[in-house]
Amino acid sequence: MASRAKTYTTTGRKFSLTGKRIGIVVAQWHNDITEPLLQGALDVLKKSGIKASDIIIMQAPGSFELPLCAQWLIKDSKADAVLCLGCIIKGETPHFNYISEAVANGIMNLNITHNIPIIFGVLTTNTLQQSKERSGGKHGNKGADAAVAALEMLENKKR
C-alpha cells in the first residue's frame, strides 16, 4: 500500500479534484506518531493538486474525539472529504478495545450520515514501535495512505 502513496494515482489514473476541500482531524495524543501521519497526508494532498487553502486542519485531544471533531469540521467547513488521523496503542487494560471500536463506529456512522468520505486513518497497534513503523517507517505512512483513499473516494463519487 505504501507504493500507492508514492505514485498518487490509482490503477494509472491521475486525480482531478480542483476546488475540493479536504478536512483533516488529527489527534494530539501520541503526537510523535500523529504529526508524521499528518505530514504524510499533507504531502499527498498537495502533490495531487489540492491547494493549501482548501485543506482545513482541526486538532482533537485524542482519537476518541475524532468523530465529533470530524462532524464539526464537516458542518463548519463544508469539506468534501475528511481524514481522521490518530493512534491507539494497546495497553494492559481493555481500554484499547473500547476506544478503537468507538472510533471506528463513529467514523463509519459519519460516512453514512453525511454521504462524504470520512477516512479511518487511525493506527490501532500493539506497540509504539509498530506505530512508528506505520507513520513513516518501514511500513510506509498510513496518513499518506488515508489521503490517497480520500482522493480515490472523491474520484469514485464524481463518476
Cβ pair 142, 124 in contact under 8 A: no
- Cell triple for 121: 486513518
The length of the chain in residues reads 159
d(CA 69, CA 64): 10
Alpha helix positions (H), 48-92: 66-77
**Among residues 30, 95, 114, 139, which one is catalytic?**
95
Those residues with Cβ within 8 angstroms of residue 130's Cβ, 6 or more apart along the chain or in another chain: 123
| Cα–Cα–Cα angle for 114, 117, 121, rounded to 5 degrees | 125
Q: Respond yes or no: is residue 95 known to be catalytic.
A: yes
| Cα–Cα–Cα angle for 109, 115, 118, rounded to 5 degrees | 60
**CA distances (Å), origin 147, targets 24, 25, 97:** 9, 12, 25
* Catalytic residue list: 95
